[in-house]
Amino acid sequence: MKFSAISDVHVKVAGDQAEEVLLTFLRNPDVQSSDIIFLLGDIFDLMIGPHSQYFVRYQNYFDEIKLIISQGKRICYIQGNHDFHLKNLYNKFFIVHKDLDSSLFSLAPYFEYNDGGKKIYLCHGDDIELNNPGYKIFKAIVTSPPLRFYANNLMPHFLIKSVGEYSAEKSRKRNNKRYTTESDLTPVKMNFRESAEVLFRKKPYDVIVCGHSHVKDYYQSPSGFEYVNNGYAQHSKTYISIENGNISFKPIF
């Protein structure tokens, strides 16, 4: 089998650099020849809840998703920390587009596949990240059943937009400072490698694919597994390809 995966694109508005990265990835003939296309979270800088405004704001993306699924290709979407509570949004999408096979689109916290004799785990990365207790508390709150119900049924779009854009801007400033030099990247890289080691000790996957860290990395562990992260897509300008269990980075452009 052949998998193509990308994460951490952070599309903010139509026409920005991030949208160009995302659309070029989705339109890439090599990506479209994949058995499964994985979107591993934080594809958007802000997408929370079932609000129909997203269909207008990100029309180019939804048009590409419609085209890919109409061609019989499968898409697996993992929710990140900038795009979550999306189940009802995609339910609306498939209600509008009744001609599409909704079974070709999957939304989940993570995915597991066996391919090329390897057991592969694909996630956003925040679920396995160590040494970030503040974020864990935040994620537990925003994904809790009461907040999920509020986001899906009661929270108005303008409030999500205002609060989300403020939070996203703070996150961008923090990350821009955090990822300036190689010396800044090393602790993040090592933390995610150790996070993958801990996951492996709990469940021995052969390949662990993550996003979230914004640090591109390929690591072959002495324990016998491979960890791969595409980093921040606008900077790396690559995506992850896994074909018959073999991992490679491929250019988007």
pLDDT interval class at 7 (50, 70, 90): very high
Separation CA 144–CA 136 (nearest Å): 12
Q: Give the tens place of pLDDT for each residue, 224-239.
A: 999 999 999 999 999 9
Instruction: Count Cβ atoms within 10 A of the Cβ of residue 154 and give its class: 0-12 exposed, 13-18 middle, 19 or more buried.
Output: exposed
Which domains does the chain possess? 2-251 (3.60.21.10)
Contact 224, 241 (CB under 8 A): no
Separation CA 213–CA 211 (nearest Å): 6
Number of H helices, E strands in the chain: 10, 13
Residue 172 clears pLDDT 90, i.e. is over it: no
Q: Give the tens place of pLDDT for each residue, 53-78.
A: 999 999 999 999 999 999 999 999 99
Strands 110-115 and 118-123, bridge-based pairing: antiparallel
Tell me the whole-structure pTM to 2 decimals.
0.89
Q: Give the tens place of pLDDT for each residue, 14-59.
A: 999 999 999 999 999 999 999 999 999 999 999 999 999 999 999 9
